[in-house]
Amino acid sequence: MPDVRDSFKNVAANYSKSTFHTSSARLQEVLDLMRPKPGDLALDVATGTGNTAFALAPYVRRVVGLDLTREMLNEARRIAAEKEFKNTDWVIGDAEHLPFQDDTFDIYVVRAAPHHFPDIDRFIAEAFRVLKPDRDASFIDCAPPLPARDVLHEVEMRRDPSHVLSLTVEEWVTRLERAGFHVEVAQTRELDWNYEEWMNNMAVAPELAAELARVIDASSGEARTQLHPEWREGKLWHAYWHALIRAHKPGT
């Protein structure tokens, strides 16, 4: 499988400006799910350029942003210094092998990343392990319904070879509960998706971007109804979905 670091090291700066990743409305979703407290120690897994960590920082004691890609964390450090955040730390690490002790964090967050993880069950087990009992984790990731997922999966794999699979909300709930979490919130949120910006985030070559746009535009049946692709002023827009999940680790 392609190394996630290879996919993201040269496009790190794009993610500090991406409309989705930096949107105040999207970041508010994290705060609404997590209900952070001033004394909390938070972990933002696959933090990228730190967008979610920066959203949490004003509301918690400290936030640790973890990512595999050094270039992403370098961008996060630059922004933290520029914005004068004093309660952020940045750690190189793997979501499936977290370098932290059991029951360390009051809040665990992962956003727009699990579809890259080769072993979802191990990643969830690690989230459960490092979270303190009686506290919450949030999982936000692309979660298209079937059969639209089949169409988007082809596009995702060719847009970014480090993509593995986007789970449906139902698949998320099954896996989280199997790991010991109690799922308190599990919903799907649909967005009107700017295809061009999505491609530009990963610096996709124009020829491939045009080819993949045709894949979405050629969808049929229920998948097309779900995706409802539309061309506006020569640019493709279509539906895109995310799971918004809060999961509770029971107390001991």
Q: What is the pLDDT of residues 31-79, one digit of tens each?
A: 999 999 999 999 999 999 999 999 999 999 999 999 999 999 999 999 9
- Return the structure tokens found at 184: 């308190």
The closest alpha carbon to 189, from 28, 68, 44, 10, belongs to 28
CA pseudo-torsion sign 118, 121, 124, 128: negative
**Strands 235-248 and 230-232, sheet pairing:** antiparallel
Phi and psi torsions of 223, nearest 5°? -60, -40
Q: Judge contact between 221 and 125, C-beta under 8 A.
A: no
Domain ranges of the chain: 4-144+164-191+241-248
Asked if residue 117 lies in contact with residue 95, where contact means CB atoms within 8 angstroms, the answer is: yes
- Classify residue 59 by burial, with Cβ atoms within 10 Å: 0-12, 13-18, 19+: middle
| Class of domain 4-144+164-191+241-248 (CATH, top level) | alpha beta
Each residue's pLDDT, cut to its tens digit, for the chain (252 residues) gives 455 545 444 544 544 455 554 678 889 999 999 999 999 999 999 999 999 999 999 999 999 999 999 999 999 999 999 999 999 999 999 999 999 999 999 999 999 999 999 999 999 999 999 999 999 999 999 999 999 999 999 999 999 999 999 999 999 999 999 999 999 999 999 999 999 999 998 899 999 999 999 999 999 999 999 999 999 999 999 999 999 999 999 997
Residue 15 to residue 21: CA distance in whole angstroms: 7
- Between strands 88-92 and 41-45, the pairing is unpaired
